Amino acid sequence: MELDAEGAHRFLREGAPVLHAAGFGVLLPSWWRRSSSRLGARLRARGRTAPGTVAAGGLGLDALVDYRWEVALGDQPLTADELASLAEVKSPLVRLRGRWVELDPHRLEAGLRLLRSTGELTVADLLRMGLTGDGDRTDGLPVLEVTADGALGELLAGEAERRLTPADPPPGFAGTLRPYQRRGLAWLAFLQSLGLGGILADDMGLGKTVQLLALLAGDPPAAGPTLLVCPMSLVGNWQREAARFTPGLRVHVHHGAERARGAEFAAAVHAADLVLTTYSVAARDAYDLAGIDWHRVVVDEAQAIKNAATRQAEAVRALPARHRVAVTGTPVENRLADLWSIMQFANPGLLGPAATFRKKFAEPIERHGDAEVAGRLRRITGPFVLRRLKTDASIISDLPAKLEMEVLCNLTAEQAALYRAVVDDMLAKIESSDGMERRGLVLATMTRLKQVCNHPAQLLHDGSALAGRSGKLERLEEIVDEVLAAGERALLFTQYAEFGGMLRGHLSARTGREVLYLHGGVGKADRDAMVTRFQSPDGPPLFVLSLKAGGTGLTLTAANHVVHVDRWWNPAVEDQATDRAFRIGQRRRVQVRKFVCAGTVEEKVAAMIADKRGLAQRVVGTGEQWVTELSTDTLRELFTLESGAVVE
C-alpha cells in the first residue's frame, strides 16, 4: 500500500501499536525507535572566571557561565535557517541529510526559541540540567547532552573523585595519608577551587578528620579562619587531632560560659586558623558567628542538622562561607529529607526548595520506589557526596583488618566536680596512711575515678537517669547511632557489671532495639543462647559484655565494632576481649575504639602505656597493682584533673 508521509506517520504512531497489541507481527524501520531521529537540545558551556582566579573565591553555584545552545538531530547540529525551513514544511515526516526524521511542531518551535534565547545561566542551572537531564529550561525539548570545559566538565562527568590525581598532604601536615585519603583531599580541594561544597561521608573509621586537617593545613595564610561545628563530645577530639597532625594550626575553642564575646570574640577569631564550637553554641551565638567572613564552615556529625527546621540547622546554614563541608559517617541516601537538609547547607539551592524536592524526588522514591527518579537524584548529588566503605577492597586495599583508635571524651561539669571531690578526699587519707591500708585506698581511688569517668550515676549508685550527664555516654550514643544506621553490630565492653546493666537499659530505651547483656552471673545455657542469637542474621545489633565474663571463649563475629567503654590497663586482657569479634570467620574489617576521658587519670595512664616508658612495663599483666607503689606526689600528679578536661 502506498502512503504519503502523513499516512506513514499515522501508521507508525497509531496503527502499528494497535496491530502489535492484537498479536500481529509488525516490522518497523530501525530509525523510528532511535532518539537520533527526533529533535533535542545540546548545551555547551564554560566558566567565565579566569583560570588564575578560580582558587581564590571559586565559582559558586550562583556564578554565571558562558553558554551556547545547539538544536540537534542525534549528533547532527541544525542551524536556525534549517529549523525555520523545516517548520514551513508542515509535514510530520521529512527526509533530512539522507535520513527520515519525525518533526514535532512543538519541538521545532521550542528549538527556534532556544536558539534565539539570551537569558543567563548559572553554575547551579548547568549542574541541574547536566546531572539530571532535567529539561525544564528548554520548553519540552529533551536535553541530549550538556558539556563544559575544565573543572565544570569534570564535575558533570560525575567521576571527579576517581579522575583527580591524589593530592600529597601540604608541608604543614604531620602525618601520612593513605591513598584513598589522598584522593579525598584532592576531591575536597577540587570542590573548593570551584567554590562548591561537599559531603564527606566516608564510612566510620576511615579518617575523615585527617582528610579535613590536611585540607586546612594547605590554606594560604591570607585565606581566613575555618569554623568547625561539632557535638560537644568531639570538641576535645578535634583539638587533640589538630595538635597532633597540624601543630602549626592556631586553634580557638568557642565554648563554655567564659567564651569570648563581641570585640574580644572577633579578635580571637582573626588570630586563629581553626575555630571550634558546638551546635548549641552556634544556635545561641548565631549573630556573632554570622558577622565573621569565614573562609570555610565545616559541620562534623552533620546528621545533627538533618532536621532542616531546627534552630541549630537554620543557624548553621545562615553562616557565610566561601567553602562548606559536611562530615558524616552515616549514609544519607536512604533518608531523603536528611539529604536535602545537609545538601542545602553544603550547596544551597542545588536541590531546589524543600517542597519542590519532596514532590520531585522524595515522594516518587519513598512512596513508589521509582528507580529512574532515584537514579536522577544519585546523579545530581553524586559529585558532591564522597562515600567510601570499609568493605570495598578496590578502594581501600591497604586498610588493616583491625582498626584501633583511642577516643577522647570530655567530662561534664557534674563529672568534673565529683572527680575533684574524690581526689581531694582520697589524697588527704592516702597521705596519712601506709602499708596495706594505703594500697587499698589507692586502688579504691582509682576505681572511683574510673566510675566518675563512666557516669556520675555509677559512682553515686542512686538509680538516677543517665541522659546528658556523661561525655563518654554521649560519644557512645553517637557511635551506636552510626552503627545502627549502617546496619552493623557492636560489642560494648565494660569492667563493671553494674555499669553494663545501666548501659543496657539506657541504650535499649533510647534506640528501641533489644540489647543483650552478658555478665558473670549468667549461666552457661543462657550464655550460649545469647551468643547464638547475636550471631543469627536477624539478631540484636548491640551486645554489652562485662570484660571478665565476655573476654574469653566466645565467638561473636557478627559484630564488626568493638568499644571498650572503660579501660582495664592490661593490653593482653583488652586484646582478648577485642578478639571476640576479630577472629576466624570475621569477613569484615573490625573497628576497635578505646574510650579515655581527657585530662583524667585515664588519659595519663593511656599515655604511659602508649609511650612504653617508666612503669608501663610493670603495668602489663598486673592490672592496677603498680599504682599502689607510687609516691604521694606522683599520685597527686596522676589523679589531679587537668584544665581542658571539661567542655561545657
| 493 and 458, same domain (yes or no) | yes
Stated pTM of the model: 0.72
Angle between helices 471-485 and 497-511 (to 10 degrees): 50
Q: How many CB atoms lie within 10 A of CB 642?
A: 11
- Domain for residue 646, yes or no? no
| 598 and 468, same domain (yes or no) | yes
| 196 and 252, same domain (yes or no) | yes
Domain termination site, one of 347, 379, 395: 395
Measured CA distances, 590 to 401, 495, 564, 581 (Å): 6, 21, 13, 7
CB-based contact 211:229 (threshold 8 Å): no
Considering only 68-77, 230-239, 330-339, 633-642, which range has the smallest mean pLDDT?
Answer: 330-339
| 418 and 361, same domain (yes or no) | no
CATH number, position 325:
3.40.50.10810
Tell me the residue range of the domain where 263 lies: 160-395
| 127 and 175, same domain (yes or no) | no
Model pLDDT for residues 153-187, shown as the tens digit of each residue: 877 876 666 678 889 999 999 999 988 999 999 99
Number of domains in the chain: 4
- Domain for residue 195, yes or no? yes
What whole-number percentage of the chain has pLDDT above 90? 39
Measured CA distances, 392 to 82, 183, 286, 334, 559 (Å): 52, 15, 40, 19, 18
Residue listed under C-alpha cell 601506709 = 434
- Domain for residue 648, yes or no? no
| 389 and 448, same domain (yes or no) | no
- pLDDT at 613 > cutoff 60: no
| 527 and 619, same domain (yes or no) | yes
Mean pLDDT in residue range 192-221? 90
Q: How far apart are the first and last CA of the chain?
A: 88
Alpha helices, DSSP H, located in 295-335: 311-317
Alpha helices, DSSP H, located in 515-586: 524-535, 547-550, 571-578
Q: What confidence score (pLDDT) does residue 445 get? A: 92
CB-based contact 100:34 (threshold 8 Å): no
Instruction: Please tell me the total number of residues recorded for the chain in this structure.
Output: 648
| 207 and 304, same domain (yes or no) | yes
Model pLDDT for residues 394-439, shown as the tens digit of each residue: 666 666 678 888 898 999 999 999 999 999 998 889 888 888 899 8
Cα gap 437→605, rounded to integer Å? 23
Cα gap 226→300, rounded to integer Å? 13
Q: What confidence score (pLDDT) does residue 133 get? A: 61
What burial class does residue 595 get, using C-beta atoms within 10 Å of its C-beta: 0-12 exposed, 13-18 middle, 19+ buried?
buried
Cα gap 254→276, rounded to integer Å? 6
- Domain for residue 154, yes or no? no
Model pLDDT for residues 78-121, shown as the tens digit of each residue: 888 888 887 787 778 877 777 787 777 778 888 888 888 777 88
